[in-house]
Amino acid sequence: SIFLVVLPSPGPTRIFRLAYPQPDYVRLARRALDAWRELEDAAGEELLVMTGGLYAGEWAEECGQALASCGVPREWLPAAEAAERFPGVALDGIERLLYQDDGAVCLAERAVSAQARLARRAGVDVRERAEVIHIAVADDLITIETEAGAVSAETAVVAAGSWAGGLLSELAVDLPLRPTFAQ
């Protein structure tokens, strides 16, 4: 029995980028971009709106190095050129910016809906907006209790973000997770 519990993405959009200061993240993002394209093809709709990405400051320097080490095309724009190409961006005090073509706006709510639709089409029992209350393991089965009822399976993937720590602590899995904002 395969099932999927889908919680709505809190908001219509997210960003997608290849620009990260760590080469491992850049490589993962490149693979993710391929997976996004496959999902778009399967869903028959656009889920990433390609916009390119502009980055400034020390973080941009680190990202530029990581992108270069992975062979990802990018360019450094002097502030005057960036102002001409992107007139809506305030560039006060910025001398140059990193530009990378593969920045995008992810249509998050649409993407979650597409994934649920494709999963249903493949025979998956999808339970949307069913909050997970408890997870238990017994006799080689994982039981996930939701407000819409319990479901048992041999394998479960818990992708609850910073909430995963609380859910998994019931299984004696201690993950010291905390939401952070990285600049």
What is the residue-level pLDDT of the chain in tens, covering all 183 positions?
A: 555 555 555 678 999 999 999 999 999 999 999 999 999 999 999 999 999 999 999 999 999 999 999 999 999 999 999 999 999 988 988 999 999 999 999 999 899 889 989 999 998 888 777 778 888 888 888 888 888 888 888 887 777 666 677 777 777 776 666 666 554
- How far is it, in rounded angstroms, from Cα 60 to Cα 93? 15
CA distances from 1 to 117, 126, 137, 140, 167 (A): 18, 11, 16, 14, 22
Is residue 128 a contact partner of residue 146, using CB atoms and an 8 Å limit?
no
**How much is the pLDDT for 51?**
95
Report the predicted TM-score, pTM, of the whole model to 2 decimal places.
0.77
Q: Strand, helix or coil at 104?
A: strand
Please state the separation of Cα 13 from the chain's center in Å. 11
Based on C-alpha coordinates, what's the Rg of the chain? Answer: 20
- Write out the DSSP string of 107-167: -HHHHHHHHHHHHHHTT-EEEET--EEEEEEETTEEEEEETTEEEEES------GGGHHHH
Is residue 90 a contact partner of residue 118, using CB atoms and an 8 Å limit?
no
- How far is it, in rounded angstroms, from Cα 20 to Cα 26? 6
Count of C-beta atoms within a 10 Å radius of residue 38: 10
